[in-house]
Amino acid sequence: MSHSSLQLLATTLESLPDPRSKQGVSHPYHGMLALVLLGLLAQLPTIAEIRRWAKRQWHILKEPLKFKRNRPPVDTTLFRALAKTTVEDFHKAIAEFLKVILAEEGTLTAAVDGKVAKQMKDADGDPIQMLNVFIHDVKVTLMSYDIGGDKTNEPGCLKSHLDELFTLYPMLRLLTGDAIFAQRPLLEVLKEHGCDYLFQIKANQPDILDAAKTCFAAVDPDHPDDLTVEKRGSISKCARFGATQQMPPISASGLTCRVAR
């Protein structure tokens, strides 16, 4: 990460209020949060490892993260800073950072997929199931949601968090996913948010499958309505098929395909 990116990260995290008392403060609160985040991105799972890594890289990290001392904070100081930070506030700050970083991408396409973390257990001893919203082009996970904590399945979890997701990332305009997400309640909410989607349809979803076959039967696949835009050496092709405008409410409001070549 460049010097300017480090500065941007520290500045973005300053949107979080500093919960500490002003007396006896030795290290910047937001700099410590940025330090821990960078360590996690470097796949360092413990505070002790993050501090050892920061000590080796201190000549690079100190100035942009706005530290004054010549050594990084000790483990206990980092733990105390994290204990005063909520996950929700941290998510919002990271979202602001990503919005700045991803601004030049324009509209974003993300994949939604459920994963089971077999190494992690919930209070009942069962593996934790997470729903991830991931941007493949830049290899960034926008959000992760606990499916079991929401007491629902993957589509229900996504549906319950769409307001939050689009508030944090208004540039998100296309979601892709497996056939499990091709369900009427979820698709209707995506339509309300103005977000296109590309989900699989299987034979065990006969209503949606029949509607898609009927509407696309008259479409010439060799001549779709499309718009091709060349950007930074790559070609992004967005195609909207007119037949989808005739599809009933049970299915899509429009099917958008975006292919990067």
Dump pLDDT digits (tens) for 243-253: 334 433 333 33
**CA atoms of 107 and 23, how far apart (whole Å):** 45
Mean pLDDT of the chain: 78
For residues 9-26, one letter each, b for 16 or more C-beta atoms within 10 angstroms of the residue's C-beta and e for the rest, the string is bbbbbbebeeeeeeeeee
Return the domain boundaries, the chain: 3-100, 102-260
Question: How much of the chain exceeds pLDDT 70, in percent?
Answer: 81
Give the E-state strand segments of 96-200 in sequence order. Answer: 108-121, 127-135, 140-146, 172-177, 196-199
Return the CATH number of the domain spanning residue range 102-260: 3.30.420
Residue 222 has pLDDT above 80, yes or no: no
**Confidence check: pLDDT of 111 > 80:** yes
Q: Give me the pLDDT at residue 237, please.
A: 38
230 sits in which H/E element: strand 226-231
Q: From CA 243, how far away is CA 239, in angstroms rounded? A: 12
Q: For residue 140, what are its two tokens?
A: 């960034």
* Amino acid making up residue 129: Q
Measured distance CA(211)–CA(235) in Å, rounded = 31
For the chain, percent of residues with pLDDT exceeding 90: 27
Quote the pTM value: 0.65
Is 195 in contact with 187 (CB distance < 8 Å)? no
Distance CA(197)–CA(187), nearest Å, equals: 8
Question: Can you tell me the mean pLDDT for 192-203?
Answer: 87
> DSSP string spanning 163-181?
HHHHHH-TTEEEEEE-GGG
Instruction: Compute the average pLDDT of residues 102-119.
Output: 82
Strands 172-177 and 108-121: parallel
- Mean per-residue pLDDT, 80-106: 79
Of the candidates 189, 210, 205, 207, the one whose C-alpha atom is nearest the C-alpha of residue 197 is 189
Mean pLDDT for 33-44 is 85
Q: Order of strands, edge to edge, in the sheet holding 226-231?
A: 226-231, 234-240, 256-260
Provide mean pLDDT across the span 196-206. 82
Does residue 136 contact residue 176 with C-beta atoms inside 8 Å?
Answer: no
- 3 state DSSP class of 240: strand
